[in-house]
Structure 1
Amino acid sequence: MEIAWMTDAQAPYREPLFCELARRGDLTVHFLFTEEPERHFRYRPHPGYASALVPCWQIPRRGPLASLDSYQAVLKPGATRPVLDADVIVIPTWAQLASAWTMLRAVRRGVPYVIFSESTLTSRRFASGPVDRLRRWLFTHAGAVVVPGPAARDASIASGVAPERIVESVNSIDLGLFGDRPREIRAGLGEGTGPDAAGHRYVYVGQLIARKNVGALIEAFARLDGSPELDVVGDGVELPALRQQAARLGVADRVRFRGFLDEDGVVEVLASTQTLVLPSLEEVYGFTPLEARVAGLHVVVSDKAGIAENLRDVDGAWIVPPDADGLFGGLEASRQAWTGWAQDVPTDSASPERSADDVLAAAKIALGGATRT
């Protein structure tokens, strides 16, 4: 089976899945953009899977497009040909002009496609009108839909997808990097359970932009008694204001702005911190709590994040409203419950092997219902 995966930019967190799919069959990942500078994604060939760049024009993020998380692309003539030559196409970003056009072309050609959808009902910006109608058309014409949890499943059903064409899966990460490496670092440093509640170490990893809501996290953190610490890993337009806020609240000496770090650098921070916080006002999924749980940390997660439903009733996870009061409650509960880093890696909830199984199962469903012309 020849699979073409078409996506915006080369995100490192997807590569364990790409490598696993390539190990099992014929996969080519087609990237629209050479880079996405805000998230430090840059294209480079990877030895674990075949890849190519799709000829397209990138639309500047100005005016109404400025609020989008990623750039839009217009395909150049003939750009879809290598993608449509595959047996099945996997597309994770329906709300991308180039992806939507490719799906329309696939229907005309009789090439089945699978949507890998993380979108939830909460993360939707349009519940009616032409955008909603386009989404419903693309989803109902998909051969199958893969979702990483129950919230995305509910959204796909609301878009008209028959439940039997939905494969509920997991998002996956590098289990060796995020599971084994932090424990090796802690063992080398002689770390036991980490500081007590008074000196608890919190961490945020992500962009410093408005919807990430890091200001509310700093406000909640400043209310904690004792001398806890907060590492803020990432960069973005909110950085100057966040520095000023930390100083104004009297916690500048305990809030460390670490800047952007690659995955190895993030692992180093996760090895020494105890609770990761995702305070977003809007988050389609949220990979960082997944990485943190595999690394053995507690997580405090906004109830607006897609991953929240996956973590309800999970030990060491607190799902909270993303305001200062809700975040404060999660921060306090986590540090009071802390007894040490979890030693068992919850591999099934983040396994590339499991995710690859499910993508291939969805591809077979799509192929079974398609007639090529």
Structure 2
Amino acid sequence: MIERRSTSKVANAPYRFPGVTAYWKHLQNEDPDVVIVRGVTRWFCRIAAICAIGQGRRLVIYDQEDAAPSAWGSTWIRRAVFKYLGIPHVTSRLSSTDSRLASGNALSLPFGSPFEPTRAAELGRRLLQWPPRILMVAKYRERKGHSALLKALSIIPKSMSFSLTFCGEEVTPSDTAFRRTLLQEARALGIADRLKFRNNVAHDNMDSVFSSHDLLILPSLFEPAAVSPIEAAWAGCAVLMSRDSGTRGYIPEGDAYDFLADDPEDIARAIAGVLAQPESLRQARDSCFSHISAVANDGAILRLFEHLAGFETRRSQ
């Protein structure tokens, strides 16, 4: 009540959630079989969860934490309590083991392909172009690692030809200032002639961006659920990403496909390995597409979702 009486210039500030009575009535009108809430650390998600439990509806909690977190940490305890109440947690992070076994674990429910199956197959078979075309899709923020990537590309052997595209959102003065700073850095490093920007692309048109590049790199720090590497892999790109990224499991195992995000030398190592020759890049592209097709295909996701939603139980009844 105190927060709702305070003022804010942000129209969608987190405390502007519906009241309990209003949400209770809304949920009754919608009459859903399953309610999925985005964690329970936000007040509006807590209200949704309370209303769903109060109305006896099937509740599933989605978060972006590790599928198997450290025991007795806040994530582990929160999940264990809800699991005891019969309420499952799912996460977009992939686990190499059965994450349902331990009390504080969550079931991995992968992000699926953003493309229709026929379109994904078409993108996966597209021809490799050389010199390679590198892409980074990210907002113009310091933690995304644009500068680290520029430094890494200036380190790799000059005999390696490439072009680089930064694809982001330029909607505020700070975005424009950040982009200009990146161009200045590229000039200082001697690679400005290889850099271009492609901004404010509608999501429906992103397949054309991915399909016109061969390698996506995301050196982002503290990234729990990066989606651009997943979309790029489905579009037939090779993908290199931060070792601690939450969606690292969508890309093949091994340090050939990851790096330390705060270490330009290690980023350069990974890039040089993929760009050593056309066959290296072709193999990386094929491996990334094959891996994500195996771990995040529509059939596997549907079966997991049906299990969580209780549809399998209903069918047996």
Q: Which residue is 2:120 aligned to? A: 179
Which residues of 2 match residues 133-212 of structure 1 at below 5 A?
A: 141=85, 143-150=87-94, 160-161=103-104, 166-176=106-116, 179-180=120-121, 182=123, 186=126, 192-195=127-130, 199-212=131-144
Q: Which residue is 1:276 aligned to? A: 216
Does the Cα contact within 8 Å between 2:124 and 2:286 map onto a contact in 1? Answer: no
Q: Which residue is 2:43 aligned to? A: 97
- Between 1:137-146 and 1:279-288, the stretch displaced more is 137-146
Q: Which residue is 1:257 aligned to? A: 197
Q: Which has the higher strand share?
A: 1
* Normalised TM-score (structure 1): 0.64
Tell me which of 113, 116, 126 is aligned to 2:62.
116
Does the Cα contact within 8 Å between 2:37 and 2:48 map onto a contact in 1? Answer: no
Q: Distance in 1 between matches of 2:312 and 2:189?
A: 55
- Identical residues among aligned pairs (%): 19
Q: Give the drift of 1:295.
A: 1.7
Q: Deviations over 1:151-194 (max 9, x none)?
A: 59899988x54x5xx4333211233286145368x5xxxxx431
Q: Give the drift of 1:306.
A: 0.9
Q: Give the drift of 1:202.
A: 0.8
Q: Give the drift of 1:248.
A: 2.2
Residue 153 and residue 86 in structure 1: after superposition, are their counterparts in 2 closer, same or farther (change >3 A)?
farther
Which structure ranks higher in relative contact order (CA pairs < 8 Å, sequence separation ≥ 6)?
A: 1
- Between 1:355-364 and 1:139-148, the stretch displaced more is 139-148
**2:253 counterpart of 1:318:** no
Larger Rg: 1 or 2? 2
**2:34 counterpart of 1:78:** no
Q: Which residue is 1:305 aligned to? A: 245
Q: Distance in 2 between matches of 1:354 and 1:58?
A: 46
Runs of at least 5 residues in structure 1 that lack an aligned partner in the other structure: 1-55, 63-69, 187-191, 369-373
Q: Give the drift of 1:263.
A: 3.0
Does the Cα contact within 8 Å between 1:146 and 1:168 map onto a contact in 2? Answer: yes
Which residues of 2 match residues 319-358 of structure 1 at below 5 A?
A: 319-323=258-262, 324-336=264-276, 337-339=280-282, 341-342=285-286, 346-358=292-304
Q: Which residue is 1:37 aligned to? A: none
SS at match of 2:286: coil
**2:184 counterpart of 1:241:** no
Q: Give the drift of 1:253.
A: 1.7
Q: What is the aligned residue count? A: 289
Runs of at least 5 residues in structure 2 that lack an aligned partner in the other structure: none
Does the Cα contact within 8 Å between 1:194 and 1:274 map onto a contact in 2? Answer: yes
Q: Distance in 1 between matches of 2:68 and 2:133?
A: 30
SS at match of 2:66: coil
Q: Distance in 1 between matches of 2:97 and 2:78?
A: 18
Does the Cα contact within 8 Å between 2:124 and 2:235 map onto a contact in 1? Answer: yes
Letter in 2 for 1:176: E
* Normalised TM-score (structure 2): 0.74
Q: Which residue is 1:221 aligned to? A: 153
